[in-house]
Structure 1
């Protein structure tokens, strides 16, 4: 009998692998751009954030404990920020301004998703605590952005600003900035793939009109459309380790070679 190779779509694991490969190419370009690495390599990274936003929605929707999920993402955000500060102050590779921290974007996304859950709970049982928590989760990224903005003044110590920045889930400091707002919209449409893809396409259209290459995020629709709803292999913590490890590795290697 002749075996047939059938394509059964992409699992959550497969989406992460696709995101990691594209992300590595993008960050290779980022760290080695002073060496003359071609700018078009940056294009590979444009769909990455959207893929991880989508995966985050899946993870938050199916996790056994949303509180634990949020705490883990927050700790990753803080540790990544401290790593970035450490590398910047010790390696002194001044050709690259290291600001990578996708965990901040993802944690801010969990705040918005948690807010949606609280608003839904308030709609069901009318308890004020759910409304207040929902408002708190929604406002935190913007309140902290205001604090950071004020802390950037000349009268504030740069060290103090760095410390505040490390622990604050400010949307102002998010790697993808206002695009993080795509996460709660994807969460609201978590049961409708067509609407999710439409939301991604509309966001890409916005960037296209503004002349930003981020419009290439539209290509993330291809793997997302073929998501099969399956988890795939484990290796959950591999992705949490790989992100800071490859950033640090590429940054140090580029600094040594420069």
Structure 2
């Protein structure tokens, strides 16, 4: 009955966000308590999560009344999460869990790339070379910073630069690395839901490295393809807002689970 209702009415933006945070919470329970005996297969629940939120970021960027404010919120989220991770790790360290979760990095870079694509498109339509160049730079700068960080890691440049680089979102340090560009791909395909789903399936196939052994053990990232199930029935409606809750839930639940694991002596 519930399945039939979903097929008929579809899922709102709010519904998909709720599904995303539930799956995310289960995944992070595994991350923080794996050494306490939480089975490895629990990790599979989290594989579609990043893809779900990348899709929602396309919707957010496309429909927001202020794209720059939307970008700024994601950047603030990245800084708050990064600083918070350092503080929590320092106060409750000594476990075998490395606290580096920061999906805001991936979402900011994805939306920034969308903004660059939009700027290039606008420049081409208006024959404004400076606008086109601005769009190209917006897309290229995070990649340039990634290359710079690689040089630092190889000892080719001053290590002091690494402190500066910590506050800059870049693909090299993002949770999903260069797979974050699935978001901009879905932005380019935003008028064709079917092609968006095909894009997700292609990304899932690439994530296997075309090695199909150990798909349920060694490499489960391909399960991101399951994101097509809720996204294919998205009805385009916003539903409830609760914007502050969704922004706040991410850091609070990660830090809370990490501190709980520390209090219980997990991984120490």
Q: TM-score range by the shorter chain?
A: over 0.9
> C-alpha displacement at 1:6, in angstroms?
3.4
Q: How many residues align?
A: 251
Q: Identify the residue that residue 5 of structure 2 maps to in structure 1.
A: 6
* Counterparts of 1:105 and 1:6, CA distance in 2: 33
Deviation at 1:100, TM superposition (A): 0.2
SS of the equivalent of 1:169 reads coil
Q: Give the Cα separation in 1 of the matches to 2:84 and 2:151.
A: 24
Task: Report the equivalent of 1:185.
Answer: 185
Kindly state the Cα deviation for residue 210 of structure 1 after the two structures are TM-superposed: 3.9
TM-score (norm: length of structure 1): 0.93
Matches within 5 A, 1:80-229: 80-152=81-153, 156-157=159-160, 161-165=162-166, 167-208=167-208, 209-210=210-211, 212-229=219-236
Give 3-state SS (helix, strand or coil) of 1:143's partner. Answer: helix
Where does structure 2 lack aligned partners over 5 or more consecutive residues? 213-218
Q: Let me know the Cα RMSD of the aligned residues.
A: 1.5
Q: How far is 1:161 from its partner?
A: 2.5
With structure 2 as the length reference, what TM-score do the two structures score?
0.90
Which residue does 1:79 correspond to in 2?
80
Report the secondary structure of 2:38's partner residue.
coil
| Number of the residue aligned with 2:258 | 251
Is the CA contact (8 Å cut-off) linking 1:148 and 1:170 kept in structure 2? no
Distance 1:53 1:27 in 2: 18
1: distance between equivalents of 2:150 and 2:109?
17
**Counterpart-to-counterpart distance in 1, 2:29 and 2:170:** 27
Aligned to 1:234: 241
Q: Distance in 2 between matches of 1:163 and 1:86?
A: 18
Shift of 1:110: 1.1
- 5+ residue gaps in structure 1? none
